């Protein structure tokens, strides 16, 4: 909706309705952030049985994008709540700052062993669950593999 609003604004048209709706929808999506397990994230459903990595990736992306578009501090705070490993790796590469790398070194060091010990299946593919032994909840798709590989690459750096 932000893109529609900016498209309208660029053509001199009123976009207030889109901007207002975007803000309201963002509030609904970001509100259920839960820190009771997995270091935070939003639940996949109201049953609260699973925290889907793709859903959370989109919440974090939207938060970061929202901050860049609106400058609202709450968007930035939400974006920083759950920095995923590939985002952290990209951030540290771009920042090229030893002090920042040192700040995140403990997080990076904790992720890779989780991938090695808990995140692989019998064929050594990396799933979406690597913070605890898989009890049937891991999803074996490219997204999980990419995130696990990002954790390993980050630890290797």
Neighbour-count burial of 144, counting CB atoms closer than 10 A to its CB (0-12 exposed, 13-18 middle, 19+ buried) = buried
- The whole-number pLDDT of residue 124 equals 79
pTM score over 0.85: no
130: its two tokens: 């690597």
Does residue 113 carry a pLDDT above 70? yes
- The whole-number pLDDT of residue 133 equals 57
pLDDT in tens, 74-83: 887 777 665 5
120: which strand partners? 126
Contact 22, 9 (CB under 8 A): no
For residues 88-98, give the mean pLDDT: 76
């Amino acid at each position: 909706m932000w893109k529609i609003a900016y498209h309208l604004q660029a053509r001199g048209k009123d976009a207030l309705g889109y901007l207002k709706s975007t803000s309201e929808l963002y509030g609904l999506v970001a509100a259920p952030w839960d820190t009771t397990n997995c270091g935070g994230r939003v639940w996949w459903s109201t049953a609260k049985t699973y925290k889907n990595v793709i859903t959370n990736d989109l919440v974090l992306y939207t938060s970061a994008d929202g901050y860049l578009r609106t400058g609202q501090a709450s968007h930035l705070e939400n974006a920083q709540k759950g920095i995923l490993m590939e985002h952290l790796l990209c951030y540290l590469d771009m920042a090229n700052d030893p002090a920042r790398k040192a700040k995140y070194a403990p997080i990076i060091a904790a992720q890779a062993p989780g991938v090695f010990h808990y995140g692989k299946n019998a064929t050594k593919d990396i799933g979406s669950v690597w913070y605890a032994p898989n009890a049937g909840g891991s999803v074996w798709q490219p997204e999980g593999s990419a995130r696990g590989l990002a954790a390993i690459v980050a630890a290797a750096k």
